[in-house]
Structures are given as structure tokens and as C-alpha cells.
């Protein structure tokens, strides 16, 4: 089965439909106000209302209160949440009406060791996403990390690989890690929040060719 592909940082209906046309499985929307790819719940609702059925839509949050996350899920019409901050296993379990992806920013072995607490019977998340740790940011850096660490994290459940992926290295990343899915944002953009169709097309083709 080919790897799933999530195109993150979607800000327009045009970019969303283009990504789906080229074969994307999931679309990501950033609800972190400090991000250059930030979108409002109302804007995302317009996009999700225009999508065909069976599309996975993911809202990305960074240390947002659980009540706020659940409210955005309802208002924006998304079906998964990606928690990209320091959310505890207990907080992950409090999300309502959406599956939970817990993101971890990786700089070394210790970052992988902490995933186990989110993979217990009480707090099982739907998937784990690994991104590159860069001081002062929460993703979209365009930098990779040591993929050997990602291989070790696969024991905790479905693994989504992110961080510095693009059309030129995604096939190597998939062959090395064999993740459940890959996630890209800046690697297929002409500017933050603006996707470049040819890069999106190439990225998905490379990912799905394996």
C-alpha cells in the first residue's frame, strides 16, 4: 500500500483542490496565530465545505486550551487534530469529535523516548508525527532530522514523517523510514501559505511511486 500524503499549511480553496487533484490524502490547516500559514476557523470552513467526501482534514494547534480546540473542530469542519506543542497525554485524550495526531519535534534520542506515554491504552493517539526541532519554531522550517530516529519511533504506532521534505528527497525518506504517511508544507511552496502546483504534483508523484 502506498504511503499517505498530507499537504499542510493550506490557506485557499484553490490550493486544497489542486492538492486533491494530484492525489493528496489529507489537507492540513494551521490554527497557530504566530504561523505565517495561519487561517481562521471561518476560512477553513469555507474550504472544507467545498471538498469532496472522504478527504482527511487536519487542524494544527500549538498548546491551545482543549475547549478552544474542540470549538475550532466544530466551527471549521475538520476531522483530525494535530497537537504540535507540549500537550500532555491527558490533554490529547480530551479532544472531542476528532482523531488526534501528536507531533514531536526531534533533535535526538531523548525526544523519541518520550513518545511512549502517548501510546498507552489510556491515552492512545491515532498517529505520531515527527518534525525537526528548531529553536523558536513549531514546524515549517524546511529542515530534516536523523531519519534513523524515526525508524525507532514506528513501534509506537502509525508514523507520519515531516520536516524538510520536498520533491527531491521524499522518495529517499520513504525508502529509509517506511512511514505510514509523509507531511509537507514549505517544501511545496512558492511563499509561506502559497502552494506551487508543480512542486505539489512532483511531491505526490514521488511519494506514491514507491
Catalytic residues: 8, 131
Nearest to 11 by CA among 193, 153, 174: 193
Nearest to 72 by CA among 107, 104, 48: 48
- CA separation for the pair 103, 68 (Å, rounded): 18
Pairing between strand 26-30 and 4-7? parallel
Please spell the DSSP secondary structure of 55-69, one letter per residue.
Answer: -EEEEEESS--HHHH
CB 19 within 8 A of CB 10: yes
Amino acid at each position: 500500500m502506498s504511503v499517505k500524503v498530507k499537504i499542510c499549511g493550506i490557506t485557499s480553496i484553490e490550493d486544497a483542490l489542486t492538492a486533491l487533484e494530484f492525489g493528496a490524502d489529507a489537507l492540513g490547516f494551521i490554527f497557530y496565530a504566530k504561523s505565517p500559514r495561519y487561517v481562521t476557523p471561518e476560512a477553513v470552513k469555507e474550504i472544507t465545505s467545498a471538498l469532496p467526501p472522504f478527504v482527511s482534514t487536519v487542524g494544527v494547534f500549538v498548546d491551545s486550551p482543549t475547549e478552544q480546540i474542540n470549538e475550532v473542530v466544530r466551527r471549521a469542519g475538520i476531522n483530525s487534530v494535530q497537537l504540535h506543542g507540549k500537550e500532555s497525554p491527558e490533554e490529547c485524550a480530551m479532544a472531542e469529535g476528532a482523531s488526534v495526531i501528536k507531533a514531536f519535534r526531534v533533535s535526538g534520542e531523548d525526544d523519541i523516548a518520550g513518545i511512549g506515554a502517548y501510546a498507552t491504552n489510556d491515552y492512545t493517539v491515532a498517529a505520531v508525527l515527527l518534525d525537526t526541532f528548531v529553536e523558536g519554531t513549531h514546524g515549517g522550517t524546511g529542515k530534516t532530522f536523523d531519519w534513523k530516529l524515526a525508524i525507532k519511533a514506528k513501534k509506537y504506532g502509525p508514523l507520519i514523517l515531516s520536516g524538510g521534505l520536498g520533491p527531491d528527497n521524499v522518495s529517499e525518506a520513504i525508502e529509509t523510514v517506511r512511514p505510514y504517511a509523509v507531511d509537507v508544507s514549505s517544501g511545496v511552496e512558492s511563499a509561506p501559505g502559497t502552494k506551487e502546483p508543480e512542486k505539489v504534483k512532483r511531491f505526490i508523484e514521488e511519494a506514491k511511486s514507491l
